[in-house]
Structure 1
Amino acid sequence: MSLTAKIKDIELELSRTQKNKRTEYHIGLLKGKLARYRAQLLEFQTKSSGGSIAAFEVGKTGDARVALVGFPSVGKSSLLNHLTDAKSCIASYEFTTLTCVPGVLELKGARVQILDLPGIITGASAGKGRGKQVIATARTADCIMMVLDAAGHPNQSKLLTEELETMGIRINRKPPHVSFKAKSSGGVSFTSTVPLTHLDERFIKQLLHDYHIFHAEILFHEDCTADDLIDVIEMSRNPSARVYVPCLYVYNKIDQVSMEEIDAIARRPHSVVISCEYNLNMDVLLEELWRELDLSRIYTKTHSIAPDFGDPLVVKRGSSVQEVCKKIHKSLPDIVRFAIVWGTSVKYSPQRVGLSHVVDDEDVIEIVKKITI
Structure 2
Amino acid sequence: MSDAQRRIMDIEVEMARTQKNKATMSHLCALKARLAALKRQVIEQQNKKSGGPGEGFEVRATGDARVGFIGFPSVGKSTLLTALTGVYSEAADYEFTTLTCVPGVMTHDGARIQILDLPGIIEGAKDGKGRGRQVIGCARTCDLILLVLDATKPVTHKILIEKELHGFGIRLNQKPPEIYFKKRDRGGLNFQALVKQSVLNKDLVATILREYKITHAEIILRQDCTEDQLIDVIEGNRVYIPCLHVFNKIDKVSRQEMEIFASKLPHFLPISGALGWNIDVLKNKIWEYMHLTRIYTKPKGDMPDFTQPVILRNYKTSVKDFCRRIHKRLMDEFKHALVWGSSAKHFPQIVGSGHMLEDEDVIQVVKRI
Is the 2:29–2:207 Cα contact (8 Å) retained in structure 1?
A: no
Q: Counterpart of 1:366 in structure 2: which amino acid?
A: Q
CA distance in 2, matches of 1:297, 1:5: 51
- Secondary structure at 2:163 match in 1: helix
Query: Please, what is the CA RMSD of the aligned residues?
Result: 1.6
Residue 333 of structure 2 is aligned to residue 340 of structure 1: no
Is the 1:151–1:257 Cα contact (8 Å) retained in structure 2?
A: yes
CA distance in 1, matches of 2:14, 2:252: 39
Q: What is the deviation of 1:327?
A: 2.0
Deviations along 1:194-246, whole A, 9 cap, x unmatched? 111112333221111111001112111111111001011111xxxxx111101
Q: For structure 1, which runs of at least 5 residues remain unmatched after alignment?
A: 236-240
Residue 271 of structure 2 is aligned to residue 270 of structure 1: no
- Secondary structure at 2:11 match in 1: helix
Q: State the partner residue of 2:283.
A: 286
- Secondary structure at 2:67 match in 1: strand
User: TM-score scaled to structure 1, two decimals?
Assistant: 0.94
User: TM-score scaled to structure 2, two decimals?
Assistant: 0.95
- Secondary structure at 1:277 match in 2: coil
Q: What is the deviation of 1:254?
A: 1.1
Q: State the partner residue of 1:166.
A: 167
Q: What is the deviation of 1:57?
A: 0.4
CA distance in 2, matches of 1:21, 1:154: 34
Q: Counterpart of 1:367 in structure 2: which amino acid?
A: V
* Cα gap change, 1:80 to 1:16, in 2 (>3 Å): farther
Greater shift, 336-345 or 314-323, is seen at: 314-323
Is the 1:265–1:273 Cα contact (8 Å) retained in structure 2?
A: no
CA distance in 2, matches of 1:124, 1:202: 36
Greater shift, 166-175 or 197-206, is seen at: 197-206
Q: State the partner residue of 1:127.
A: 128
- Secondary structure at 1:278 match in 2: coil
Q: State the partner residue of 1:115.
A: 116
Q: What is the deviation of 1:182?
A: 1.4
Q: State the partner residue of 1:243.
A: 239
* Cα gap change, 1:35 to 1:92, in 2 (>3 Å): same
Give 1:45-124 correspondences, 5 Å limit: 45-124=46-125
Q: Counterpart of 2:101 in structure 1: which amino acid?
A: C
Q: State the partner residue of 1:238.
A: none
Residue 260 of structure 2 is aligned to residue 253 of structure 1: no
CA distance in 2, matches of 1:81, 1:30: 46
CA distance in 2, matches of 1:23, 1:288: 43
CA distance in 1, matches of 2:96, 2:14: 33
| Aligned equivalent of 1:313, options 306, 310, 314 | 310
Q: Counterpart of 1:203 in structure 2: which amino acid?
A: L
Q: Percent identity?
A: 51
CA distance in 2, matches of 1:191, 1:85: 53
Q: What is the deviation of 1:39?
A: 1.2
CA distance in 2, matches of 1:25, 1:260: 46
* Cα gap change, 1:19 to 1:285, in 2 (>3 Å): farther
- Secondary structure at 2:54 match in 1: coil
Greater shift, 145-154 or 121-130, is seen at: 145-154
* Cα gap change, 1:112 to 1:214, in 2 (>3 Å): same
Q: Counterpart of 2:348 in structure 1: which amino acid?
A: P
Q: What is the deviation of 1:20?
A: 5.2
Greater shift, 42-51 or 280-289, is seen at: 42-51
Q: State the partner residue of 1:183.
A: 184
Is the 1:100–1:116 Cα contact (8 Å) retained in structure 2?
A: yes
- Secondary structure at 1:269 match in 2: coil
CA distance in 2, matches of 1:285, 1:15: 39
Is the 1:54–1:133 Cα contact (8 Å) retained in structure 2?
A: yes
CA distance in 2, matches of 1:26, 1:151: 42
- Secondary structure at 2:68 match in 1: strand
Q: For structure 2, which runs of at least 5 residues remain unmatched after alignment?
A: none
Q: What is the deviation of 1:23?
A: 4.3
Give 1:185-264 correspondences, 5 Å limit: 185-235=186-236, 241-264=237-260
Give 1:291-302 correspondences, 5 Å limit: 291-302=288-299
Is the 1:337–1:370 Cα contact (8 Å) retained in structure 2?
A: yes
Is the 1:262–1:273 Cα contact (8 Å) retained in structure 2?
A: yes
CA distance in 1, matches of 2:288, 2:20: 36
Q: What is the deviation of 1:10?
A: 2.0
* Cα gap change, 1:149 to 1:18, in 2 (>3 Å): farther
CA distance in 1, matches of 2:55, 2:155: 31
| Aligned equivalent of 2:349, options 342, 348, 351 | 351
Q: State the partner residue of 2:7.
A: 6
Q: What is the deviation of 1:14?
A: 3.2
Deviations along 1:237-280, whole A, 9 cap, x unmatched? xxxx1111011111111112221221222343211111112211
- Secondary structure at 2:47 match in 1: helix
CA distance in 1, matches of 2:272, 2:25: 42
Is the 1:338–1:352 Cα contact (8 Å) retained in structure 2?
A: yes
